Structures are given as structure tokens and as C-alpha cells.
Structure 1
Amino acid sequence: MRRKIHKTPERLARVRVDAVAAEGKCIVRTEEGVIFVENPTGGPGVAPGDVVDLRITNTKKQYREAVAERIHEWSTVRTEPFCEHFGTCGGCKWQHIQYSEQLGFKHQQVIDHLTRIGKVELPTFRPIMPAHPTQYYRNKLEFTCAEGRWLTTKEVGTNQPMDQRAVGFHVPGRFDKVLPIRHCYLQPDPSNAIREAIDAYVLQHDMTLYNLKMHTGYLRTLIIRTADTTQQVMVTLQVAQDNPELLNGLMAYLQTLFPQITSLNYILNTKKNDSYQDQEVINWAGKAFIEEQMEELTFRIGPKSFYQTNAQQAYNLYKVAREFAGLTGQEHVYDLYTGTGTIALFVARLAKHVVGVEYVEASVADARVNAEVNGITNTTFVAGDMKAILTDEFFAEHGRPDVVITDPPRAGMDEAVTRQLLKAAPERIVYVSCNTATQARDLAILDEGYTVTGVQPVDMFPHTHHVENVVVLTKR
């Protein structure tokens, strides 16, 4: 039997990092081609301008991948990370880069995608809209409660038995390992206090947490939602076993310790995965929803509802979409991928009628409730597969659109949907995107009948590589 030959990994010494790329990676350009540099778990992170030693981890036809093993010179765009979990936790990967520089990188990413992938004629881009605040901006966090705690190098070195229970976030690339979080800078109070209280209760009462490999244990996830404008708080626990005694003890503990919790719920999930959209949510105390306000509108948000996780910046995003729509009160508007109807209801008072279309039936039900709560009667919400539902017959029944607002998921619009929009020929299309690469792909198709007349990047998620972008297209 032949021995397997292990090649010595290729290394490059003292190369300068040029820029950032998709998914938060960095780029090094060499004579042999582009190298994408990953930030390994536990490392300090790589920033444009750093001079580093690289170890090549993968060689493809058009590029190579690498990790930085040593940093010789620190970039001038760096700043001190504010979170003790930076480098191990999978979130906030750009903490080590100054926020003004983050904005510049994101703005350039939008330009690059729309010009290189879309290849369409573009107007002057508006400057990217910064987020404020840049910490404690999320209104929803989901923590995993697991028997699979991630141990630091120092803890491993002690060889001391450690409690394996943890309430926190998955370590990148490890479905079975959870990093216990001491303080998270993503969600405002009382999020950290609630998580810490759950952690303490678990230890005091020797409660079992879910083992992601063996599929045993009791407590699975902790989901916290907060409302910025009303200060309402929702807590939803996901458990793996029907044990009323365990559940009631934990729920009563939370209710007593945190009277500001206005919605306390649980989900009994006996599946082998933590997805709960197909599971029943049981309201244990308080209301079954919390409320968020935007201008004169009130939105009810349930445990399964989709609502933009940065509510303050979502308001700015929706104002851009409304401005680009250019409504006068006479327009028939279609809101595609409407979710719980937030954009549809936000523009409804300036439109003649709004038709919201969404695949998820539960979201459409939420949208109808929100319309009723706000006394809005000029909206129609329809559930169905977008590419199947947008037919000539559908337009004949609901009216052809004068303006279309579309806010698809990261995969963008199905080509059949894009083609149908070309057939429907609205005067304007407002395209809200969380993935400018797929947005650019769709713009290339819409270029057959439309001209891009406005572009506004919006930073919704500081300290990450994610960027939202709003484009308005005008019929030629």
C-alpha cells in the first residue's frame, strides 16, 4: 500500500493586504493571481494595509485561499476591538476596522458589484448611509443552549474537568460547539441580563441542555426580541421535552426577575434540528406579540414574524424606498417579497392601492393583521410562489402595477420574476437588496427595458461585511 504524500503548504512572507472582498475576506494581489485571506478562529483579524505571512490552504483555477499566520505591520485603518469575544465568535468580524473605513469598503463593494456584474449604465451613487448607533442595534438575537461548550486554549491546557453547558453562539464551522457569551454588544438591555439569568438558572438547578450530537437534553434555544420604540420585550424558549415542572419553574423565574418581559413564550420541538417555523408557539404569559412603531404605524411582531433586525436603520431604508417610488396617491403599487407587509404598509398612505406578494403564508397573515391594526384598507396581501403567481391572469385580477417595490432574499429574484416585471412594464421599479451581487445580476436583465436612475447604499449591520442597497429603475 502506497503511503500518502503530504505536500508542504505553500507560504508567502511579508505580503501586503490590498482590500476587502465578499463575505468579509481580504484580498492579496500577486503576479500569480488573487489570494483570498480568511480570518481564522481565534486570530486578530486581517485588515487592508496589514503586512502578513500567509499559508496557502486551497488552490483553485482562478484564485488561491490562505490564512494569515503572522502580522508584521499593522494597518492604519485598524482600531481596538471592543468585544472580548472578537476573533472567536462568528459575529462582528470587522470590529478591528475603523467604522469610517468600513463604510468606505461597503460603498466600494456596491460600486464593484453593480459595475462588474451588472454592467449597466449607472448614475452617480449617493454616499452610503451610516448606521447610528453602531452597537446594541439589533432587535433580535437567538442563543443556542447546548451541551457542547467551546473551550479556550488556556482551558484545554489545564486538563481540568469543565462544565460542558453553554448559552451563547456557535463557533464558526462547528455545529456542535457553542461559545459562552459574557457580554454581547449587539442587542440592548435587558438582553445580556436575561441570557446571564438563564445561564445561572441552568447551573443552579442542574438543568440539562440539548446535546447537538446525541439529541438529548432539555433546553435548546433562547430567542430574545426587543422593540426600540415601545421598549417591549419578548422571550421565547425552545425545549426538547414535554416537562411542565421544568418549564414552569424556569418561566416563573424569568417572569419574577424581569417584569419588563411583555411576551413570554415557549416551543416544544422534538425534531433533531432547531428550526421552529413549522412548530407551534405557546404563549405562557403576557401578549403573544410585541409592537414596534414607525411614524404613525404600529407593527405587531410575533415569535415567528420577520422584521428588520435593525429597526432604526430600517426606517431610513424604507424612507429611501418611498422616496424612490415617487408616489403621488394615484399609483397602483406591487410590493414583492412583502414579508409581514412593512414596506407595503409604509407606502400605502401615498398610494392608490398596494398589492403585497409573499411566499410564506404566516407572514401574509401577519401583514393582514398589521393592516387591520393600522386601519389601512387599500392593501391586498397574497401568499404564493412568486414566479408562479405573477401571471397575466394575476395582473388582470389585481391590476397592472405603476410602481413595483421588490425586496427579495439574498438569492435575488428568480429570472422568471424579473422577466415578468419586464412584461408588466411599471413606470418605476424600486429594488431593495441585501446582496448586491445578485441585485447586479437582476439589473443586467432589467436593463432590457429600464435605466438605473438612483442608487443609495445603506449600512444596516455595522462591524460586518453586509450592506443593503436601494436602486430605482425608470422605464425607457
Structure 2
Amino acid sequence: MIPLQPMGNRKNIVLKEIRIDRMAAEGKCIAHHEDMVIFVKDVAPGDVVDLKVTKKKKSFMEAKPIHFHQLSSIRTEPFCSHFGICGGCKWQHIPYELQLQYKQQQVVDNFERIGKAPIGEMLPIIPSEETTYYRNKLEYTFSTHRWLTREEIGSGADFDRRALGFHIPQSFEKIIPIVHCYLQPDPSNAIRLALDEFARTHDIPFYDPVNHVGMLRNLIIRTSNTQEVMVIVQFGGEAANHPEKVRQVMQFLQESFPEITSLQYIINPKKNDTYFDLPVELYHGIPHITEKMEDLMFRISPKAFYQTNAQQAYQLYKLARSFANLQGDEVVYDLYTGTGTIANFIARQARQVVGIEYVEDAIEDAKVNAKINDITNSLFYAGDIKEVLNEQFLATHERPDVVITDPPRNGMHPDVVQKLLELQASRIVYVSCNPATQARDVAMLGQKYDVIKLQPVDMFPHTHHVENVALLSLRDVIP
């Protein structure tokens, strides 16, 4: 390998004919040059590439491929025409069996490097039965800033810049129009394409995220295993002055897609797309959809979180229930309970389940889900977990025998970890979508807990993301 000489700054460093060695965390690969480690995106182990350095530190560099001399023998042909541009499904070029190996290794690496505690048993990753059309929720974005190819830019022609699709990675305004997405089953693609064409034909303005003008802003489609479909259209603030255009769009969707069971819309005058603080208006149908798991029904409202791979969520919840090893007389705390899916799923095996969640709307859904399933031994509370778990709360609800925790990607707040150390539940079942932050939290819990076993679960095929369930057991503590 022969490096080109730097020309003034790191942006001009090009490394020639670098062999990619192996996969690393967050979907990146590792290569080496002299004594430097190089982290590279969008390649595969075995590729030989020219790299342009994008970041240079004392002991490592980050780089992107600019020319492929040799493609790895492990590569497989991507199935999506948007591969390499769209930010999703970035591992389509890696065979699924190898994806699973890399994800398993990612969990091991994080617990060895960050957790730094002995692992009792590392169980093999549970694969996803479906590797395409496995998501039950997608969010598409309207924009007047369609992503242009190099050829289009170079032509100097005036292109229609309207687009409905996904964000280009690291670009808040540039959208790639999607022809066919392999993530969500029908009628997701049909609804998106039809609404795109209708908006163009009837001159409904797409939203301009730079100047914050326009009507159509986002399209959210949720499907369920009970064959229900929820569609939510998010309009820009100026839609409040044009209710006739809102009705025009919503009526089109209602008439064109009778399979939509919940048709809703949001008018968002803010400069960001978050809608959890905004009212959702029901235009047609019922205000929720329902997922079924075993004999339980889970009602999902527009703002509610539910695992986006329902089939694998079932595997995940069965694991949590198995790891909890409930005998029927335990008090269980379910932290970050969301809409109470895990809490209600395990309630019949426990004496009492207490779910705590920051989002109030989610807690209301959790209570509804308990009611419609005739579950009477689950209680739900909204609030900041580190503040809710005070002495008065513990005196009212008893201290837990088992804790199940399923925090967001950034893991648990250190104060929550400290609370768990004080509670001293006999077992902690830690469900995580980010093994790095999970390993960090487990390292702190290592003051009093041992890692009995780890079980990775693949929730998101063709991505580097992996879910992991850890069982922790309280050591004998001498008072």
C-alpha cells in the first residue's frame, strides 16, 4: 500500500490500496496503516480500497472509500436500488449469517471493553425470521430539497426538487425519493407513492425545511399484525389557514385506501418535526391500532412507542419473562415501561408489577392495555424514574424482588443505576438496544451484581443495530 502525501491538511490525505480487516462497532470496519487504526464506513472485510481521511487523531483516523480496487469475496448483491444512498439497511452487502456473527461479536466486545466483568454465559444471537418487510412503522419526509446526483448537479439543468422519502445521512433537508422500500409491508409503499403523485397533481406545496414554508411535512405509516393500518399526515403551520387543503389530502387517502383503519393528522407550526407536544386530530376511523401477542392485545396510539419489529419483540419479551424466572409471588418493577408491553406481558406470572415511564401519554396507554386484557395487578406511574423511586414510593409499593429495565439508546441515568444498587432486587433483567451503554451501566451495577448470561436478539436485519438482554444476579451482600 502506498499513501499519497498529505497536502496541507487532513482533508487532502488519501491512502492507497488499503485492505479492510474486520467489522467494528456502529457498522464501521477497521483497517490499519502503519501504526494507525482506521475506521471506515460503507465497506466490507476483505475490500481493497483507496481511502480519503475525514478525521485524524493521535492514534486513529476515520476515512471514507473513494475507489475500490478489489471487492471482498464475502459480499452479496444488495437487493434495494437505493442502497448506498439511503441511510437505511446499510449491511445489505453483507450475507445475513455474517451480519449475525458481527452483531454477536459487537455485544462481546462491548462487555469486554466497557463492562470489564466476567460473563457467566454468552448465548447465541436469535436471528430475525423475516429479513425484509419486518417493520411496523416508517416515517417519510416531504421536502423541496431533493437530493441530486453528481450527474444532475453537473448538467446545470433545472430539476423538480420536490421529494417524499428518507433523509440522506447527515443532512436534515436533503431527501431521497423512494421508489420501493423493503422495510414495511403493504400498503406502505402504495400509500407513499399515491400521496406523492396526488400532491404533485393537485399542487399541494411540499415543506421547505430551510425556510419553513409549505404544507406537506411528514407521512407516518404504522401497520399491525391484526391487519390494521394507521396513517398520520403532518402538515406545516400554514395548513391552519388552509383547512380545505387538509381535507383534500385526507379525503384522498380515505377514499383511495379503505384498508386504513386510523387516519389522523397533525398541524405543526414549529421548526422541528417532533409532534409529541402537539394535538393529533382523528379524521377517519379509530384513534389507535392493535398488536396481538399471545393472548394479549396492545393498543397503540399515534404517540405511543412499540417495538418496530413485532415478531422479534415477542422473542425479546419471552426472554425477559424467562430471565425474570417469576414464581408468582414477586413484586416486579418495570422501568422505562413505555406503553406497558413488558409489564403487562409478565403480569400474570407475578404478584404485582409496577411500571414507570417518563411519557405521560404512554402511561395512559399502558393503563388501557392492562384494562382491555383484564390485568388487575399492574400499576403505572409517569415521571422521572430517578425522582419517582423515592422512599415514600418504595414504602407504598414494596421494594422489588425483580427489576426489568428497558431504557432508550443512551442507557440509564447514573442516578437510576444508583437507585438500583440501593434497591438490591435479587435479579435485574436489562433489555437494551445499545450494548455499549448497557455494558457501561452493567459495569456500575457490578458493585453488587454478577452477569449471569447475555442474549443478543436481531431486531433490525441489514443494519448494525442489535438488541441484547442481560440477566444480573445480586451477590450475597454482608450488611
TM-score by length of 2: 0.95
- Which of residues 67, 71, 89 in structure 2 aligns to 1:70? 67
Percentage identity across paired residues of the two chains: 57
Contact 2:290 2:299 in 1 (8 A): yes
Q: Closer, same or farther in 2 for the Cα pair 1:309/1:68, shift >3 Å?
A: same
Q: CA deviation at 1:153?
A: 2.4
- Which of residues 165, 170, 178 in structure 1 aligns to 2:167? 170
Contact 2:11 2:52 in 1 (8 A): no
Q: What residue is the counterpart of 2:407 in the other structure? A: 408
Q: CA deviation at 1:151?
A: 1.5
Find the aligned partners of 1:469 and 1:7 in 2 and give their Cα distance: 37
- Which of residues 79, 82, 98 in structure 2 aligns to 1:82? 79
Q: What residue is the counterpart of 1:61 in the other structure? A: 58
Moved more, 214-223 or 59-68: 59-68
How many residues align? The count is: 466
- Equivalent positions of 1:29-428 (< 5 A) are 29-38=32-41, 45-227=42-224, 229-240=225-236, 241-242=239-240, 243-428=242-427
Cα deviation code 1:350-369 (max 9, x no counterpart): 01000001111111111111
2:15 is aligned with what amino acid?
L
Find the aligned partners of 1:93 and 1:405 in 2 and give their Cα distance: 31
Q: What residue is the counterpart of 1:432 in the other structure? A: 431
Find the aligned partners of 1:109 and 1:153 in 2 and give their Cα distance: 35
2:35 is aligned with what amino acid?
E
Tell me, what secondary structure is at the counterpart of 1:261? coil
Moved more, 106-115 or 52-61: 52-61
Unaligned runs of 5+ in 2: 1-6
Q: CA deviation at 1:453?
A: 0.9
Q: CA deviation at 1:160?
A: 2.8
Find the aligned partners of 1:8 and 1:134 in 2 and give their Cα distance: 38
Q: What residue is the counterpart of 2:446 in the other structure? A: 447
Cα deviation code 1:210-230 (max 9, x no counterpart): 101111111100000000x21
Q: CA deviation at 1:273?
A: 1.2
2:14 is equivalent to residue 11 of structure 1: yes
Q: Closer, same or farther in 2 for the Cα pair 1:427/1:5, shift >3 Å?
A: closer
Q: CA deviation at 1:5?
A: 5.8
Q: CA deviation at 1:55?
A: 1.8
TM-score by length of 1: 0.96
Moved more, 183-192 or 67-76: 67-76
Find the aligned partners of 2:98 and 2:330 in 1 and give their Cα distance: 40
Find the aligned partners of 1:224 and 1:62 in 2 and give their Cα distance: 44
Q: CA deviation at 1:15?
A: 1.8
Find the aligned partners of 2:233 and 2:336 in 1 and give their Cα distance: 28
1:27 is aligned with what amino acid?
I
Moved more, 449-458 or 150-159: 150-159
Find the aligned partners of 1:6 and 1:327 in 2 and give their Cα distance: 60
Moved more, 24-33 or 393-402: 24-33
Unaligned runs of 5+ in 1: 39-44
2:243 is aligned with what amino acid?
P
Q: Closer, same or farther in 2 for the Cα pair 1:394/1:62, shift >3 Å?
A: farther
Q: CA deviation at 1:451?
A: 1.1
2:18 is aligned with what amino acid?
V
Q: CA deviation at 1:124?
A: 2.7
Q: CA deviation at 1:8?
A: 7.3
Q: Closer, same or farther in 2 for the Cα pair 1:7/1:251, shift >3 Å?
A: closer
CA RMSD of aligned residues (A): 1.3
Find the aligned partners of 2:161 and 2:310 in 1 and give their Cα distance: 35
